[in-house]
């Protein structure tokens, strides 16, 4: 009898007949909604997973884990209450705790269900007033059945079958190792979120010679920063990254000083002075053997190169946007790295200042270093670059290499003059782009092959 009760609680959240009927109707409706969205209908029967899949159907995947865990937790507590039989006079501490935690979980679950239903309403393009029926516990079966079985209710888009798309868009290849440059053979960069493996980047192969200044282009979410983190070895991918013939991943502890990574935001302590910030950066990045005098000389040299000498005793927080950028670059430049990576160094800078900064980067590249730069306003400085990397999010929502080569060739390849037009061409349609990412990914793979 207890087993039946537990099963009823797990699947219907109640042991009363009316509630069981309502739950069954709700699940039947959700089954059909899942099928309409391209998800297997039987997920509707599994509590916890049902909520996550519903969030996916509603385009609110990020809300899914919390919604799912709160619902599953709530059910688990109901089962525990059944197992630990409390009589009406037994107000034990455990019972009180269970009630409190249940209330919290119910509230979380309710709030997240509202978010998910709001997403579902958007996907089905119906009026907001449907929310009342969804949100109330005894009426939610009505919209579930109507939307599930009604032909007039159709979702605006389906949950994509990622695996099929990934198989369709698979490309193969590898870049031959360059002994005096950067060779990247990235097979896959994945991340796990809520037990679900997500492929962030795939099949990116290139060899960048020394002395090249490379522009990294791509729409938002294409994986530019992820790619840079992968090639500098900080967030390792399934890849082989060789810098001047040495494996960066295998010898990361030694080679990390050969890579200078300037992050998008300044990431410096505002209450420290410019000189102290650079001195600490030098102590951290320069070899142990470098004497104090040599270190000071190097710091002065870098400050001179980046025009920071007049403000060397100022607090970092008092610097202008341009000065902060230059200080941030100086911190990495102090160890004289072979590979210099900059994530949007011109953000917040006006055209003139940005141009000056990129000219400085060009000079650095001319000394035989590889400089890779992400920028969202490439056309004003495109003459300073040698090559361009174009990353694009394919229809499996994975960052892919749509192009790597010279600027001139890139214009021919994409059939567009401006770099911003190239970005637009590979961006997804819902992001205001042309949605040609898949085409260019396959075209580039074909050309390289």
Residues contributing to the site for other proteins (CB under 8 A): 93, 179-180, 191-192, 210, 232, 234-235, 243-246, 251, 254-258, 261, 263, 265, 267-269, 271-272, 276, 280-281, 283-289, 315, 331-332, 338
Q: What share of the chain is helix, strand, coil (3-state, %, to 5)?
A: 50, 15, 30
CB of 65: closest distance to other proteins in angstroms? Answer: 15
Nearer to other proteins, 105 or 388 (CB): 105
160 close to 191: Cβ distance less than 8 angstroms: no
Nearer to other proteins, 36 or 285 (CB): 285
Nearer to other proteins, 18 or 192 (CB): 192
Phi, psi of 169 (to 5 degrees): -95, 15
Nearer to other proteins, 12 or 259 (CB): 259
Could you count the other beta carbons within 10 Å of the beta carbon of residue 288? 5
Q: Scanning the structure block, which residue is given the tokens 């193969």? A: 172
| Nearest one of 9, 15, 16 to 77, comparing CA atoms | 9
Nearer to other proteins, 124 or 333 (CB): 333
Nearer to other proteins, 120 or 327 (CB): 327
CB of 224: closest distance to other proteins in angstroms? Answer: 15
CB of 438: closest distance to other proteins in angstroms? Answer: 27
CB of 365: closest distance to other proteins in angstroms? Answer: 15
Distance of CA 114 to the CA centre of its chain: 25
Q: How far apart are the first and last CA of the chain?
A: 66
Cα 24 from Cα 442, distance rounded (Å): 46
Q: Do the bridges between strand 370-374 and strand 213-218 make them parallel or antiparallel, or are there none, so unpaired?
A: parallel
Cα 328 from Cα 157, distance rounded (Å): 44
Distance of CA 65 to the CA centre of its chain: 17
Cα 427 from Cα 217, distance rounded (Å): 11
CB of 276: closest distance to other proteins in angstroms? Answer: 6
179 close to 190: Cβ distance less than 8 angstroms: no
Nearer to other proteins, 30 or 327 (CB): 327
399 close to 223: Cβ distance less than 8 angstroms: yes
Cα 147 from Cα 145, distance rounded (Å): 6
CB of 93: closest distance to other proteins in angstroms? Answer: 6
CB of 260: closest distance to other proteins in angstroms? Answer: 8
Question: Token pair of 116, please?
Answer: 């998910």
Nearer to other proteins, 128 or 288 (CB): 288
Cα 216 from Cα 197, distance rounded (Å): 26
CB of 228: closest distance to other proteins in angstroms? Answer: 11
CB of 174: closest distance to other proteins in angstroms? Answer: 21
Q: How buried is residue 313: exposed, middle or buried, by Cβ count under 10 Å (0-12/13-18/19+)?
A: exposed
Nearer to other proteins, 51 or 258 (CB): 258
Count Cα neighbours of 289 within 13 Å in the Cβ-side half-sphere.
0
């Amino acid at each position: 009898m207890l087993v039946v009760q537990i099963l009823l609680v797990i699947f219907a959240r109640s042991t009363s007949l009316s509630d069981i009927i309502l739950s069954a109707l709700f699940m039947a409706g959700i089954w059909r909604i899942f099928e309409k969205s391209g998800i297997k209908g039987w997920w509707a029967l599994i509590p916890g997973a049902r909520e996550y899949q519903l969030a996916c159907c509603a385009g609110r995947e990020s809300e899914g884990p919390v919604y799912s865990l709160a619902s599953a937790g709530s059910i688990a507590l109901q089962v525990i209450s059944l197992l630990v039989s409390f009589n009406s006079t037994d107000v034990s501490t455990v019972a009180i705790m269970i009630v409190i935690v249940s209330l919290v979980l119910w509230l979380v679950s309710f709030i997240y269900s509202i978010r998910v239903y709001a997403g579902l309403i958007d996907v089905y393009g119906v009026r907001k007033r449907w929310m009342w029926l969804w949100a109330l516990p005894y009426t939610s079966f009505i919209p579930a059945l109507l939307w599930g079985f009604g032909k007039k209710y159709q979702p605006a888009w389906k949950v994509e079958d990622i695996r099929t798309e990934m198989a369709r868009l698979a490309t193969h290849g590898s870049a031959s190792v360059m002994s005096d440059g950067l060779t990247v053979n990235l097979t896959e960069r994945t991340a796990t979120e809520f037990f679900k493996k997500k492929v962030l980047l795939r099949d990116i192969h290139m060899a960048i010679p020394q002395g090249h200044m490379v522009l990294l282009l791509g729409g938002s979410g294409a994986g530019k920063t992820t790619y840079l983190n992968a090639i500098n070895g900080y967030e390792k991918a399934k890849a082989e990254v060789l810098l001047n013939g040495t494996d960066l991943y295998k010898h990361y502890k030694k080679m990390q000083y050969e890579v200078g990574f300037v992050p998008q935001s300044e990431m410096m302590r505002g209450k420290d002075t410019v000189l102290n910030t650079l001195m600490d950066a030098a102590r951290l990045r320069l070899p142990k053997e470098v004497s104090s005098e040599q270190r000071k000389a190097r710091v002065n040299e870098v400050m001179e190169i980046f025009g920071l000498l007049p403000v060397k005793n100022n607090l970092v927080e008092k610097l202008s946007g341009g000065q902060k950028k230059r200080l941030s670059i100086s911190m990495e430049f102090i160890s004289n790295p072979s590979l210099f990576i900059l994530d949007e160094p011109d953000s917040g800078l006006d055209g003139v200042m940005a141009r000056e900064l990129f000219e400085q980067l060009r000079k650095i590249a001319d000394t035989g270093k590889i400089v890779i730069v992400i920028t969202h306003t490439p056309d004003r400085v495109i003459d300073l670059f040698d090559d361009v990397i174009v990353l694009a999010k394919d229809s499996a929502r994975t960052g892919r290499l749509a192009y790597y080569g010279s600027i001139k060739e890139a214009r021919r390849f994409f059939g567009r003059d401006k770099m911003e037009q190239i970005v637009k061409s590979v961006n997804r349609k819902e992001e205001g782009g042309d949605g040609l990412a898949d085409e260019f990914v396959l075209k580039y793979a074909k050309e390289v092959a």
